[in-house]
Structure 1
Amino acid sequence: MILLKQIKSRSIEHQFYRWMSVEVSAKISKSNDELRETSKFDQEWLQAKDFKEIPGPSTFKLLSHYLPGGKLHNSNLIDFYKLLRDEYGDISLIKGIMGKPNVVFTYNPADIEKVYRTEGIWPIRVGLETFTYYRKKVRPDVFKNIGGLVSEQGKAWADIRNKVNPIMMKVQTVRENLPDIDDISQQFLQKIEQLRDPKTKNIKTNFHDEVKLWAFESICCIGLNKRMGFLNSSGSVDPDALKLSDAMSRFFQLSFEFDVQPSIWKYYETPKFKTLIQTYDEITEITTKYINEAIANFGKGAGPTGVLEKLCCIDKQIAVVMAIDMLMAGMDTTSSVFLSTLYMIAKHPEKQNTLRREVMGILPDKNTPLTNENTKNMPYLRACIKEALRITPITPANFRLTGCDVVLSNYRVPKGTGVSMGMMPLTNSDVYFPQSSEFMPERWLKSGEGACPHAKGTNPFVYLPFGFGPRTCIGKRIAEMEMETLMTRLIRNYKISWYGDDLKYTSNIILIPAGDMRFKFEPI
């Protein structure tokens, strides 16, 4: 018996030392790999050109572009990016002026991947400085020194993100709202019937405004668990919703002028800057009103608990700030992407017919409710949305501060340098997407009829409409569900066409469809 115990003890001891040997070997191997990577980087850094050698305009030349008669006077963001690339190539440098940091502009996918791969666990994406200033300096009474996911950095950002991720990024949690979102979509169809001219089938009012109200009704339902009634058949709309829509349009334009273009607002408050602050006030007051009403009705609503109530159980102040951000971001961004997708589908009847066949398989009867089960398999619809986002992404570039010293396009770029990664020109280039000017949802299909084999070989860092890594867009799941639901209902009920000139866009902070929305809806 004693001998048996000794043998067993030696066996355990042998296994322990064997495990320790493997563990130590693994650590040594990992250490050697890290040393090799460090040595490789040191060599790359020494061979690269100096940061100051990156081409770009002088401060004087840049400012002169924005003066009356200059190339960028009254321009938009896409004009700015195009001028830089045309004059300086795939990498350029704008030196920091008027309190702004140095910013490198790159159109090299290898650079983009390197920036994302080295950003660390707390990526820094400088938000809108006026936005942060307003929340922390002008209205600390409302925001309590919490800037939200757009403004916060480092651990403060990570603490917020860790609390909201399980609620806003988990597919099962978001899709609890599908029945309500489907109901809102069907209500939108009833609104279309009121807005259609009985003879021409054209929409008689500003369709863009109507889609904004659909998007706002949807995000209020998910965020606040509250139906706002923006799509009521009575035609009466809460005037505050319309005021918020107008304020958001002003916000995007004014923040572009003060946060992107050269501005003296940090040194002197111009009348237009005061207008921006008033716009922030208007947005804050309206969204706060809706949030307070929702808090007063916690527990009274039917259906799933809203995001605000779920977050209030974790941290009430973060919940309030996140709800404001959801109401701000959930109107113009979602409506813009949806209109772009609808426009592409309307302009390509053969693609629309393919999509309709998929939808008919899900909804043989128009009155069939959409469920998590019957919406699982909608590859073509999702491919249509992805393809529209490829051609007209919601923003033409992504932004980060470098998380460490890196070499971009053979130039040394120090840690903490701003990098603007121009995605839109890449996603519209034949180099990365053959026949890039064509609307081809098939390029996103992995298998089945019409799938494009070359889509599998596309550089994954060229197409990132919702960002990448820990700072991926927090509203991605919500926006996708909203758009998929309404598109399914529209395609099932109408043949959709476009008449007139091509759709135009304005580009400030985001890309927004502009002009008349010339859609025609013919019942099927």
Structure 2
Amino acid sequence: MISEIKLGSFGHKFYRRMSVQVSAKLSNTENGPKEASKLDREWLKAKDFSEIPGPSTFKLLSHYLPGGKLHNSNLIDFYKLLRDEYGDISQVKGIMGKPNVVFTYNPADIEKVYRTEGVWPIRVGLETFTYYRKKIRPDVFKNVGGLVSEQGKAWADIRNKVNPIMMKVQTVRHNLPDIDEISLEFLQKLEKLRDPETNKIKTNFHDEVKLWAFESICCIGLNRRMGFLSSSGSIDPDALRLSEAMSKFFQLSFEFDVQPSIWKYYETPKFKTLIQTYDEITDICTKYINEATSNFGKGEGPSGVLEKLCCIDKQIAVVMAIDMLMAGMDTTSSVFLSTLYMIAKHPEKQNALRREVTEILPNNHTPLTTENTKNMPYLRACIKEALRITPITPANFRLTGCDVVLSNYKVPKGTGVSMGMMPLTNSDVYFPKSSEFMPERWLKSGEGACPHAKATNPFVYLPFGFGPRTCIGKRIAEMEMETLLARLIRNYKVSWYGDDLKYTSNIILIPAGNMRFRFEPL
């Protein structure tokens, strides 16, 4: 990908720079033989892969049985059990068609995996997702699996085409007026749901935020407003079915793609439910995409993300639109709620944020624009800090691009490596005063800036991943969250009452229980 395929503005220059540091097996630099010799010596001195500690297949399966430590558990419980029992590096042998996986909490290991992953990094996606697109619905996907499913050159070809559109700030910010309008509609709905006596929300606030996130991503991905925030209450029934199917997909996929499952050998009734959920998502999205594309080409030029993608490759546009919707509701709403919770729990930080936002929005009639949203360093720092404390996923995953030595153990090429980020970002070893919510640690300058409190190792904090496979929806999610946070903090004093916020974890970390926010109008 360094020489054959251009990555667009994001990642290309960085990855070219990193390429000179990979092993001689992947490099033709002058230092190749010397580096090879060094790596060979390291490999010869390392312990054998089989010596990496970890549970036997029988013991692991027994943990998931009724009465076992992991029965009805989530990913955080699983990671904690492995680390408590086996330390900072462990392995789980592949079962039921899954590859061997090494679990590491060593930043040096994480850096090595990323820097030796090769020109086409491999991140195993959701296998049921790939199976559905390639085997069950080739009529829709036409052998284009998308960024989650594809690997190698097929993945790089797609990424190369979509990067200039989805990773370029100027392109994504073209949708800012629509996203700002959606945020203002959310505030109008919030006012109707707010009890004026207690300032509490009469309905499930988590559900309301999910609808906001879905309305926003549908506007970008489908070029369509769904009406979830409409005061008239007239929502397309298909839109409701779609939002419900998206939430169901996350839970079912966790059961079949993460936990041990026999779906490759026998289709259980619940697996058939997952396939029906995929069908529902695919069919409804396809209908909306066809409606949107029928109106393209009538303006002066391509306007939104979907239309720009269609100009490049319509089939890729279809796949990317569906992927955006599948990834853009629970993820964005979860990070948003975590950030709002942290802000609500720390009034002094909220006041600092409000001062910044008020300068940009002197009144509610002031629009958020590409220009004035450049001046929100503290708001962005709040999101970064919330992602440090509660990342959207507790670990990042890769397959090793070559034979590597991790924590003095030989790890063969093609081995899965789960890199546990959450315990590292919540450790004083890497982030001073890690238990404190300190947005100031992300500020480079200005009053209160405290950059020395940020980890010096860049491989400890990677909430959106690293390198060419960095999350493709990063720019979109940031724009959506920044817009709604700015509007909310400008109009309300937000507080939290009751017990601390809890989380559940399937594929991602999701806030659980009642969202105990109060919204006091300013």
Question: TM-score over 0.5 for the alignment?
Answer: yes
Change (3 A) 1:201 1:300: farther
- C-alpha contact 1:48 1:410 (8 A) present in aligned 2: yes
Alignment of 1:106-185 (within 5 A): 106-185=104-183
Residue 26 (structure 1) aligns with: none
Structure 2 counterpart of 1:305: 303
Task: Label 1:302 to 1:310 Cα distance change in 2 as closer, same or farther (>3 A).
Answer: same
What's the offset of the Cα at 1:400? 0.3
Q: List gaps (5 residues or longer) in structure 1.
A: 1-29
1:98 corresponds to = 96
Match of 1:273 among 271, 283, 304: 271
| Matches of 1:270 and 1:168, distance apart in 2 | 37
CA contact (8 A) 1:177 1:304 kept: no
Aligned match of 1:53:
51
Q: What SS is found at the alignment partner of 2:495? A: strand
Q: Tell me, what secondary structure is at the counterpart of 1:193?
A: helix
Contact 1:400 1:418 survives alignment (8 Å): yes
Question: Per-residue displacement from partner, 1:301-349 (whole Å, max 9, x unpaired)?
Answer: 8997122211111111111001100111111111111111011111111
Kindly provide the amino acid, as one letter, of the partner of residue 59 in structure 1. Answer: T
Q: Which position in structure 2 is the counterpart of 1:283? A: 281
Alignment-derived partner of residue 67 in structure 2: 69
Amino acid at match of 2:148: V
Query: Do the aligned residues in 1 keep the contact of 2:430 with 2:455 (CA within 8 Å)?
Result: no
Shift of 1:274: 1.0
Cα displacement string for residues 262-283 of structure 1 (whole angstroms, at most 9, x for unaligned residues): 1111111111111111111111
Q: Which residue of 1 aligns with 2:250?
A: 252
Instruction: Give the greater-gyration-radius structure (CA).
Output: 1
Corresponding residue of 1:82: 80
Q: Secondary structure at the match of 2:374?
A: coil
Shifted more, 50-59 versus 438-447: the winner is 438-447
In the alignment, the residues of structure 2 paired with residue 277 and residue 521 of structure 1 have an alpha-carbon distance, to the nearest angstrom, of 40
Deviation by residue 1:78-126 (Cα, 9 ceiling, x = unmatched): 0000000000000001111111101000000000000000111210000
Change (3 A) 1:199 1:82: same
Matched, 1:375 2:373: yes
Percent sequence identity is 89
What secondary structure sits across from 1:142 in the alignment? Answer: helix
Give, in angstroms, the shift of residue 239 of structure 1. 2.7
Q: 1:489 aligns with which of 474, 487, 490?
A: 487
Instruction: Rate the CA distance shift 1:286–1:301 in 2: closer, same or farther, 3 A.
Output: farther
CA offset digits 1:428-458 (Å, max 9, x no partner): 1111112211111111111122112423552
Greater mean alpha carbon deviation, residues 369-378 or residues 125-134:
369-378
> What CA deviation, in whole Å up to 9, does each residue of 1:358-416 have, x standing for no partner?
11111122211111111112111000000110111111110000000100000010100
Q: 2:234 aligns with which of 236, 239, 242?
A: 236
Instruction: Work out whether residues 391 and 422 of structure 2, in 8 Å CA contact, stay in contact via their aligned partners in 1.
Output: yes
**One-letter amino acid matched to 1:228:** M
- Which aligned pairs between 1:18-37 and structure 2 lie closer than 5 A? 31-37=29-35
Structure 1: distance between partners of 2:454 and 2:506: 32
Report if the CA contact (8 A) 1:225-1:304 is conserved.
no
Tell me, in whole angstroms, the C-alpha distance in 2 between the residues paired with 1:32 and 1:179: 51
TM-score (norm 2): 0.93
**C-alpha displacement of 1:299:** 4.1
Which residue in the other structure is 2:19 paired with?
A: none
Work out whether residues 296 and 302 of structure 2, in 8 Å CA contact, stay in contact via their aligned partners in 1: no
Q: Secondary structure at the match of 2:91?
A: strand
Larger displacement relative to structure 2 (292-301 or 411-420): 292-301
- The amino acid that maps onto 2:512 is A
TM superposition shift of 1:73: 0.5
- Give 1:445's aligned amino acid: L
Q: What is the TM-score normalised by the length of structure 1?
A: 0.92
The total of aligned residue pairs comes to: 495
**Aligned partner of 2:252: which letter?**
L
CA distance in 2, matches of 1:495, 1:300: 44
Match of 1:384 in 2: 382
> Secondary structure of 1:458's partner?
coil
1:188-207 Cα offsets, whole Å, 9 max, x none, are 11111111112111111111
**Dislocated runs of 4+, deviation >3 Å:** 299-304
- Is 2:463 the counterpart of 1:458? no
Q: CA deviation at 1:179?
A: 1.3
Distance in 2 between residues matched to 1:238 and 1:87, nearest whole Å = 50
1 CA distance for matches of 2:277 and 2:227? 24
The aligned residue for residue 356 of structure 1 is 354
Q: CA deviation at 1:236?
A: 2.9
* 1:395–1:511 CA contact under 8 A, matched in 2: yes
What is the rounded CA distance, in whole Å, between the counterparts of 1:302 and 1:237 in structure 2? 30
* Aligned mates of 1:304, 1:142 — CA distance in 2: 24
Residues 176 and 304 of structure 1 are in contact (CA less than 8 Å); yes or no, is this contact kept in structure 2? no
What is residue 340 of structure 1 aligned with on the other side? 338
Alignment check: 8 A CA contact 1:182 1:486 kept: yes
CA distance in 1, matches of 2:402, 2:29: 20
> 2: CA distance between counterparts of 1:453 and 1:461?
16
1:224–1:306 CA contact under 8 A, matched in 2: no
* Residue range with higher mean Cα deviation, 270-279 or 349-358: 270-279
Match of 1:523 in 2: 521
For 1:357, give the aligned amino acid.
Answer: R
Contact 1:225–1:301 (CA<8 Å) still a contact in 2? no
CA distance in 2, matches of 1:287, 1:79: 34
Q: 1:398 aligns with which of 396, 406, 409?
A: 396
2:369 is paired with a residue whose SS is: coil
Letter of the aligned partner of 1:236 in structure 2?
S
Q: Is 1:215 equivalent to 2:213 in the alignment?
A: yes
Letter in 2 for 1:312: C
What does residue 12 of structure 2 align with?
Answer: none
RMSD: 1.4
Partner Cα separation in structure 1 for residue 299 and residue 386 of structure 2: 36
Residue aligned with 2:371, SS: coil
Cα distance change, pair 31–203 in 1 and its aligned pair in 2 (3 A): closer
How much has 1:514 moved relative to structure 2? 1.4
Question: What is the 5 A alignment of 1:311-326?
Answer: 311-326=309-324
Distance in 2 (alpha carbons) for counterparts of 1:257 and 1:157: 26
Cα deviation digits, residues 147-181 of structure 1 (max 9, x gap): 10000000000000000000000111111111111
More off after superposition, 459-468 vs 439-448 = 439-448
CA–CA distance in 2 between the matches of 1:301 and 1:275? 41
